[in-house]
Chain A
Amino acid sequence: MLTLTKDRALALALLLIVAVMWVESGTIRPPTSWQPYGSALFPRILLITIALLSIIILLRSLFTKVTPQPSLGRAITEWFLRRKTIVALFFLFGLYAALLPVLGYIVATMSFLIASFALLLGIDTKRKWAINLGISCIFVPLVFVIFRFGLNVWLP
């Protein structure tokens, strides 16, 4: 069975995206009588370029020796497990973006910082908690004051 390498995954993912976008480019309004080329021309040139480059990367990867790897499912699980901190940080940021309009800047940002520091610094000592809460409680209101009163930008 074919092993899924970085290059192969990249090429296949891009080819899939190109296919979806090519179909979508069919909905772009065709050129009018005075236009030599329509609005779909430029993105289609780029889609063809991306597809060609992806195919070259895919073909090249087929001629490169790769060490056999575990099954696809296990490989993906291992990838996520090795990067669980990164995945968790992405999740926290996504949650922050979702909760920002609901909870408002102060509560949402403070929660995000406290949770992120807890994730990265750890929660096993009082000193770490002091750093966590200290920085969160200083930075969040400080940024609010700078944006609201210094730059006249309203935060949610």
Chain B
Amino acid sequence: MSDFFLQALTEVGSPAVMGLIILGVLFGIVGGSIPGFTVTMAILVVFPFTFAMDPVSGVSLMVGVFVGGYSGGIVSGVMLGIPGTPSSITTVYDGYPMAQRGEPGRALGIGVMASFLGTLISVAVLVFFGPLIASFSMNFRPWEITALIVFALTLVAGLSNGALLKGLLAAAIGLLITTVGYDRNSNLRFDFDLPALSSGFEMLPVMIGVFAFSQLLGNIEKMRDEGTNGKSVDTNVTIPYRLIMKDMAGQKLNTLRSSLIGSLIGALPGTGGTVANFVSYDQAKKFSRRPEEFGKGTPSGIVASEASNSAVAGGAFVPTLALGIPGDLPMAIMMGVLILHGITPGPMMFEQNPVLVGAIYASLLIGAIAMVLCNLLLVRWFAKISLIPQQILVPVVLMLCAIGAYALNNNVFDIWVLFIFGVIGYLLWKAGVPLTPLILGVVLGNNLERQLFRALELDPNWLTFLTRPLSALFLALAVASVVFSLYQDRKVKRLQQATPSP
């Protein structure tokens, strides 16, 4: 363990890789600070730049973006009152009122420190639980892995904001996309006599098209409808370091609790930063001696929100690295990065690529330190960047997406794939179909089919999935997650009907 970690530290500690992590953190913060430009999109835009890099450099850069992105949401949340990312919604509750009463530097400083501590605690969780889960899952056979993937997909679909049916539909569409082209037995499927389709769709252009394209156009639509953009705010921010240290000293328990909540929720497939954000904010309020101060600019609220959403970063790596099941959307993209670099996340990764696992740990740690320094030193600039209007951002990001898709194979067909899936993603989004299960389906599709067929080749009896205890448990959990979502949907509908409309 220590040998591979030392080797990883040597690789990650080289000036070139350190520079990449800092660049990644900077870009992540910028991405997180611009409302409408999420962590996921920042990862997607940077992703193509890693093609020419070795796996350690590429993954380190992406981890930097990931760490920076989760902390970046605080800037626009505090300065504009608009959460930069969905995972920093509750930061606005207290950060914005604090900034409004003339203390934006204090709000930003508390948020940054909480983010830093949240990331550190989540790395500890990853280091401790990652190998444990990986060694446990080494016993998984194809039946268990198939059932686990099905469970992850139903869980993500079920958590899609009361749209269970559409969530399941999205997951199935995502899986279906992966069946185009040659399969593992070299049989051609769904090529419609078009040679370009014989090699199937590359994961990256599909993900960029479905997610980034539709979201960017959605931002334009929202901007047109609401007429929001280019708020005028004072970006002249000074960080009161002593006051922040005093504030943080009184938040030890809150920081630890919120970080653990974030790590735990991050490790659950399908949840992610937004859920962690609300749960830890709620818990901080319940445990507080002065709950009436929440929502009016209390440091406790900012700490709960930022510690938890940053802790999601480390937590989400646990199932991704140990099981090959991404915890949330940014993690699904991260998994795509690893796959494109020839690394298959899962229990074997700890045995076959220990240096890379160590590099991820080290990058998270270095990224957290870089994040604090960048945020505290350059906060004024980030505040200015958060004001970039969508009219300028969207064409530039679309261009970068197109070039990124092209650079994957130096093939214009991939730009067409991006375009077509952009249209599909936009239409599905307009029809209320959640896109996260679709992307997860695209990421997990090939593995699901491979494991299913391996299971059926070993034993053609489908009932074996139910007679093996662990696979039966995962399938039962999958059914339970669907039933629970249905129950939740009904409960929400009943509550809505019972509440008289204004």
Chain A residues at the B interface, C-beta cutoff of 8 Å:
6-7, 9-10, 14, 21, 24-25, 28-29, 35-40, 42-43, 46-47, 49-50, 53-54, 56-57, 60, 83, 85-86, 89-90, 93-94, 96-97, 100-101, 105, 109, 112-113, 116-117, 120-121, 131, 135, 139-140, 143, 146-147, 151-156
Query: Whole-angstrom distance between the alpha carbons of A24 and B398 in the complex?
Result: 33
CB of B101 within 8 Å of the partner chain: no
A91 to chain B: closest CB distance in Å?
10
CB of B283 within 8 Å of the partner chain: no
Q: Is the CB of A46 within 8 A of B172?
A: yes
Closest 3 CB pairs of A and B: A116-B395, A36-B460, A120-B391
Query: Whole-angstrom distance between the alpha carbons of A41 and B304 in the complex?
Result: 48
Which B residues between 392 and 419 are near A, CB-CB below 8 angstroms? Answer: 392, 394-396, 398-400, 402-403, 406-407, 410, 412, 415-416, 419
Q: Is the CB of B224 within 8 A of A116?
A: no
Which B residues between 166 and 188 are near A, CB-CB below 8 angstroms? Answer: 166, 168-169, 172-173, 175-176, 179, 183, 185, 187-188
Q: Is the CB of B165 within 8 A of A56?
A: yes
Interface string of B374-403 (1 = CB under 8 A from A): 000000000000000011101110111011
Residues from chain B with Cβ under 8 Å of A35 in the complex: 185, 457
5 contacts between A and B (CB under 8 A): A10-B428, A21-B190, A39-B183, A89-B398, A90-B217
Interface string of B443-485 (1 = CB under 8 A from A): 0000001001100110010000000000000000000000000
The stretch from B80-88, B245-253, B264-272, B430-438 touching chain A is B430-438
CB of B196 within 8 Å of the partner chain: no
Residues from chain A with Cβ under 8 Å of B391 in the complex: 117, 120-121
Q: Is the CB of B449 within 8 A of A42?
A: yes
Q: Is the CB of A97 within 8 A of B452?
A: no
- Having A21-B190, A153-B51, one finds 16 other A-B pairs with CB under 8 Å, namely A10-B166, A29-B188, A36-B457, A39-B189, A46-B172, A46-B175, A50-B169, A86-B217, A89-B394, A90-B419, A112-B399, A116-B395, A135-B396, A152-B52, A155-B407, A156-B412
Interface size on B, residues (CB 8 A): 55
Residues from chain B with Cβ under 8 Å of A43 in the complex: 176, 179, 189-190
Given contacts A53-B165, A139-B399, contact A151 B51 (CB under 8 A): yes
Partner pick for B192 among A24, A100, A156, CB 8 A cutoff: A24
Partner pick for B187 among A28, A49, A117, CB 8 A cutoff: A28
Q: Is the CB of B406 within 8 A of A155?
A: yes
Q: Is the CB of A97 within 8 A of B220?
A: no
Given contacts A96-B402, A113-B399, contact A39 B220 (CB under 8 A): no
Overall SS of chain B's interface: helix
CB of B6 within 8 Å of the partner chain: no
Query: Whole-angstrom distance between the alpha carbons of A124 and B176 in the complex?
Result: 46
Q: Is the CB of A42 within 8 A of B410?
A: no
Query: Whole-angstrom distance between the alpha carbons of A154 and B407 in the complex?
Result: 8
CB of B422 within 8 Å of the partner chain: yes
Residues from chain A with Cβ under 8 Å of B165 in the complex: 53, 56-57, 60
Chain A: CB-nearest residue to B169? A53
B478 to chain A: closest CB distance in Å?
13
CB of B221 within 8 Å of the partner chain: yes
Between A14, A39, A139, the greatest number of chain B beta carbons within 10 A of the residue's beta carbon is seen for A39
Chain B: CB-nearest residue to A51? B172
Query: Whole-angstrom distance between the alpha carbons of A111 and B145 in the complex?
Result: 48
Chain A: CB-nearest residue to B413? A97
Residues from chain A with Cβ under 8 Å of B390 in the complex: 120
Q: Is the CB of B220 within 8 A of A85?
A: yes
Which B residues between 124 and 174 are near A, CB-CB below 8 angstroms? Answer: 165-166, 168-169, 172-173
B283 to chain A: closest CB distance in Å?
36
Residues from chain B with Cβ under 8 Å of A10 in the complex: 166, 428, 431-433
Query: Whole-angstrom distance between the alpha carbons of A57 and B187 in the complex?
Result: 33
Residues from chain A with Cβ under 8 Å of B410 in the complex: 153-154
Residues from chain A with Cβ under 8 Å of B415 in the complex: 96-97, 100
Chain B: CB-nearest residue to A97? B415
Q: Is the CB of A25 within 8 A of B189?
A: yes
